[in-house]
Structure 1
Amino acid sequence: MNRLVCAAVALLAVSACSAPIPPRSATPKPSTTPGVAATLPAPTGTRPVGTTTLYLKDTSRPDTWEPSVKARELRVVLWYPTATRDGRRAAYMTAKESELALKGARVTGVAYDVLSRTRTNAVQDAKPAGKNLPLVVLSNGFTKPINMLTSLAEDLASQGYVVAGIDHTYESYATTFPGGRVATCTACDMDTDPGFGTRTVLSRAADVSFVLDRLAAWDRTGLIDGSRIAMAGQSIGGASALAAMVKDKRVKAGIDMDGTTYARIPKGGLARPFLFMGSPTHVPGGRDISWDRDWKLLTGWKRWVVLPSGDHQSFTDLPMLAGSLGIAPPGTLTAAKSVEITRTYVRAFLDEHLRGRPQTPAFPEVLPCVPEKQTCG
C-alpha cells in the first residue's frame, strides 16, 4: 500500500494491536459555551496530584533569544504524587498569561482571562509522596506555555511519575517570574530565520540538561530515580525530546508528538527507545521527511503511530479548551477521545521503558505505521 492509499483508507482502518484499553478517566464534557471556563479531565491514576513551581537560573550561559540577558532563566512546573487530597487547586495560568496567550493566538469574542479560570486537579504546593519515582520531562509547542500539557502531566503524576514541565523562556506568549515580571515571545520575531528550528531544539536540550542537574540538587528526599528519566513533547517540544536524548544520556527514552525534527542523530545511530506519534501530516513518505530520515537512525525500540482524525493540537489541552474559547476543536476526534488516546499511549510507552511493564494500547483511531513500506494501518 503506498502512502496515498494509506491516507485514503486511514479513517477506515483499525489497529492491529490487541491488548485491552485501560479504564477511561472521569472526563467531563468540555464547555461548549464561549467564555465558560473549562474543567480538565480527572486523572486516571489512584494517587492525588500535587504541583509546585521552580524558578531556576543558569549562570553558565546567556539567554538564547535575549543576548543582553546574561543568564538563562527558566520556569519549571512540577507535578507529582501526594497524600494530600484537599487543598487549593493550582491555577491553570495567570490572568495576564491568559490575555497574552489569547491575543497572540488572535482569539477574540471571549474574556481574556478565561484560561486563568480553567479548573485543574492538582493541589498547589502539596507535599510530594513517594520514593525513587521515574521522572518525565515535558516540553511545550512553540508559543504555547507548558500549561497546555497539564492534563497529560496530571495523569502521569496520578500514576506515580514525577513530571517536570519546562517553560522555555521567550518562546511562548507569556512566562511569569517572581514579582510579576512577564517574559514575552521574543523568539516569535525570529521563527522564519534560517536554522531557527535547529537553534531552538539545541537551546531546549541545554535547558533540559540544566534542569536535570538542578532537580538532582532540589530532590533531597529521594523522590526521583535519576536512572529512570524520559522526555516527551508536542510540536517543537517533541523535536526537542530527540535533541535532548542526543545530548544527554540521562534521558533514557523519548516521545515526539507531531513535531518536525531538527537535531542530527549521530551516524552510529541512537539505540534508546523512541515513539513518534503524529497527525496526518506525519505519515511515512509524507510532506515532512524528518521522521523518515530519523527513523533509519533509531536503532533501538521504536514505534510510529498516526491519528488520521487528529490535528497538530490534539495532543495538548486545546481540545478541552476550544469550546470555552469559542473556536473550532482541533481535528475530528472528540475532546475526551483526544485526551484518552494521548494519555494512554504516552503512559504505556513510559510504563514499558521506565518500569519494565510492556503494554500495547489498542484504539481504532490510531494506526501503526511501517515506514519501510510507507504504510499505516
Structure 2
Amino acid sequence: MMKALLATVLAVTPVATVTRLSLPPPTGPAKVGVVTAHLVDRSRPDPWVATERFRELMVSVWYPARSVRGHQRADWVTPGVAARINTPDSGFTLPVTHGHLNAPAAAGKHPVILWSPGFGMERTSGTALAEDLASHGYVVVTVDHTHDAQFVEFPDGRIATNAIPPVATPAEEEQLIGKALDVRVTDTRFVLDRLRTMPLARHMDLSRVGMFGHSMGGAAAAGTMLADRRIRAGLNLDGSFAGPVLEAGLDRPFLLLGSESHDGEQDETWTRMWDNLRGKRYRMELDGSAHLSFSDFQVLLPQLGLPPDQVEPAVGTIDGPRSVAIQRAYVRAFFDRHLRHRDGRLLDRPSPRYPEIRFP
C-alpha cells in the first residue's frame, strides 16, 4: 500500500502552472543546521542486494545552529533524486528545507532523536518534524534504509533503488515484514554506534536518546527500543507493530499517535502492543488525518492543486499546516518530558488548543 501511494505522488498529474512546493517553517528559537553522512557497515553485506559486500547508509543530522550566515539552505532531496522526481513536465518545483548546510552548531550538548521513515520512503519524508525539533534544541538523525527506500543517493552520485522482492502469499508478506524490521533495527543500532565518531558528536548528549518513525518506521522505533536500551523513549506515527516487541513489550515510555481510523478494531497490533507496554504509555488519534498525514506529504500534496479524491485518501481532510503544527506540538511534548524532564502536560488530557487530538 505504501509503495503504491508513493508511486502516485511521484507520478502526479501535471498542473497548469509551475508550483513551488514549501514546508512550514520551524517554530523554535534556534536556526537549523544540517549535514549528511555516508556510513558503511563493513561487518555485514547488504541484506537486499547480494552483490553488495557492505551495507551502506545515508543519514542527515539536523541540529540547532549557532549561526547560518553564509550557509545556504539544503534542498529537500539530493540532485540525483530530484531529477527522477521533478521531470520537466511535472508542474512543480521541489521544496527547499529550513536547514542550512554545514552551519556551525550551537554550543552545548543536545538530546538526540532518531527518525525512521515509512516502508518504501526516504529519510526526507520527515523533514518538517525533524527541522522543527532541531529548532527547539534537539539533534535529529534521519536514516535512509537503503533498498527499502525508493531512492538513496550516495556522495559519488550512485542512486540505490528499492530492491524489496515481491510477495505472493500472506506468509511471504509476514516473513518479508519481519526481515525488513530486522534490517531497520540493525541499521539504526549501527547509526547510533557511529554517532560517537561524527564531527558533531561533541554537541550530542548520547545519554538522552529517543526514536520515532512513521508507519514501519514507528514499528522500527519499538523494535530498536527492545533491542537497545540506549533508546530511552519511542514514538510510533500510525504504523502497525510486528516482531518480538509485540509480545515482549517495552518498559520505557512509548507513544502511539495514529490517524483517524487507526484504532484497535482496524489494527489489532495496536491493542496487543498497548497491553504489553509496561513503561509510561500514551495513545492518541488525530481527527481528519490519514496514513500519509504523518509525513511531509501532508503539506506537499495539497499544494499541487489536485482534486480532493486524489489527495484525501493519502492525507485526509485536515488542513495540512494545522496537522503538522499539531504533530510538532505532541511529538515535542513527548520528548521534552522524557528526554528533558519537562512537564509535557499536553500528553495527559485533551487540550482546547488541539481539539483534533482524541484520547481513545
Above 0.5 in TM-score? Answer: yes
Return the alpha-carbon distance in structure 1 between the equivalents of residues 251 and 168 of structure 2.
31
66, 90, 115: which is aligned to 1:110?
Answer: 90
Structure showing greater relative contact order (alpha-carbon pairs closer than 8 Å, 6 or more residues apart)? 1
The one-letter code sitting in structure 2 at the alignment partner of 1:366 is I
Structure 1 stretch displaced more, 49-58 or 221-230? 221-230
Structure 2 residue corresponding to 1:294, chosen from 273, 278, 290:
273
Tell me what 2:12 maps to.
Answer: none
Residue from 134, 137, 141 that aligns with 1:164 = 141
When residues 143 and 80 of structure 1 are mapped into structure 2, their CA distance, relative to the original with a 3 A threshold, is: same
Query: What is the match of residue 62 of structure 1?
Result: 45
Q: Where does 1:300-339 land on structure 2 (aligned, <5 Å)?
A: 300-327=279-306, 328=311, 330-339=315-324
Residues 267-282 of structure 1 mapped to structure 2, 5 A cutoff: 269-282=249-262
Greater percentage in strand: 2
Alpha-carbon distance in structure 2 between the residues aligned to 1:148 and 1:207: 18
**Cα offset, 1:287, TM superposition:** 2.4
Query: Residue in 1 aligned with 2:74?
Result: 90
Q: Deviations over 1:82-117 (max 9, x none)?
A: 1113321001113441354579xxxx9624x732xx
* Structure with the larger helix share: 2
What pairs up with 1:217-232 in 2 under 5 angstroms? 217-219=197-199, 222-232=202-212
Partner Cα separation in structure 2 for residue 94 and residue 144 of structure 1: 14
Deviation track 1:189-248 (CA, whole Å, cap 9, x = no partner) reads: 459733121111111010111001100122565211111000000010111000100111
Give runs of aligned pairs for residues 336-375 of structure 1, distance below 5 A. 336-361=321-346, 362=351, 363-369=354-360
Change (3 A) 1:300 1:274: same
Question: Which residue is 1:16 aligned to?
Answer: none
Q: How far, CA to CA, are the matches of 2:17 and 2:183 in structure 1?
A: 37
The question of whether the paired residues in 2 share the 8 Å contact of 1:233 and 1:240 is answered with yes
Q: Secondary structure at the match of 1:300?
A: coil
The verdict on how the C-alpha distance between 1:278 and 1:128 changes in structure 2, with shifts beyond 3 A counting, is: same
Counterparts of residues 201-212 of structure 1 (less than 5 Å) = 201-212=181-192
Q: Name which of 7, 10, 23 aligns with 1:40.
A: 23
Once the 2 structures are TM-superposed, how far is the Cα of residue 63 of structure 1 from its aligned partner?
1.0
DSSP 3-state at the match of 1:313:
helix
Contact 2:46–2:54 (8 Å) recurs in 1? yes
- Give the aligned CA root-mean-square deviation in angstroms: 2.2
Give the conservation status (yes or no) of the 8 Å contact 1:114–1:324. Answer: no
Letter in 1 for 2:188: V
User: 1:20: which partner in 2?
Assistant: none
Q: 1:173 to 1:273 in 2, by over 3 A?
A: same
The total of aligned residue pairs comes to: 330
Q: What is the distance in 1 between the residues matched to 2:16 and 2:336?
A: 37
1:77 to 60, 78, 82: 60
Q: CA deviation at 1:295?
A: 1.0
Aligned-partner Cα distance in 2 for 1:298–1:60: 33
Q: Given the alignment, which residue of 143, 148, 155 partners 2:132?
A: 155
Per-residue Cα deviation, 1:39-64 (whole angstroms, up to 9, x for no partner): 21111110110000000000111112
Confirm or deny: 8 A CA contact 2:238 2:258 kept in the other structure.
Answer: yes
| In structure 2, distance between residues paired with 1:216 and 1:368 | 38
What secondary structure, in the 3-state scheme, does the structure 2 residue paired with 1:282 have? coil
CA–CA distance in structure 2, aligned partners of residues 140 and 188 of structure 1: 19
Determine the C-alpha separation between the residues in 1 that align with 2:25 and 2:322. 14
* Counterparts in 2 of 1:238 and 1:160: CA distance versus 1, 3 Å: same
Query: Retained in 2: the 8 A contact 1:141–1:235?
Result: yes
Contact 1:138-1:165 within 8 A present in 2 as well: yes
Q: How big is the shift at 1:268?
A: 5.7
Which residue identity does 1:90 align to in structure 2? Answer: A
Listed as ranges, the matches of 1:175-254 within 5 Å are: 175-187=152-164, 189=166, 193-194=172-173, 195-219=175-199, 222-254=202-234
Q: Could you say what secondary structure the match of 2:186 adopts?
A: helix
Does the 8 Å contact 2:116/2:220 carry over to 1? yes
Structure 1 position 33, deviation (Å): 7.7
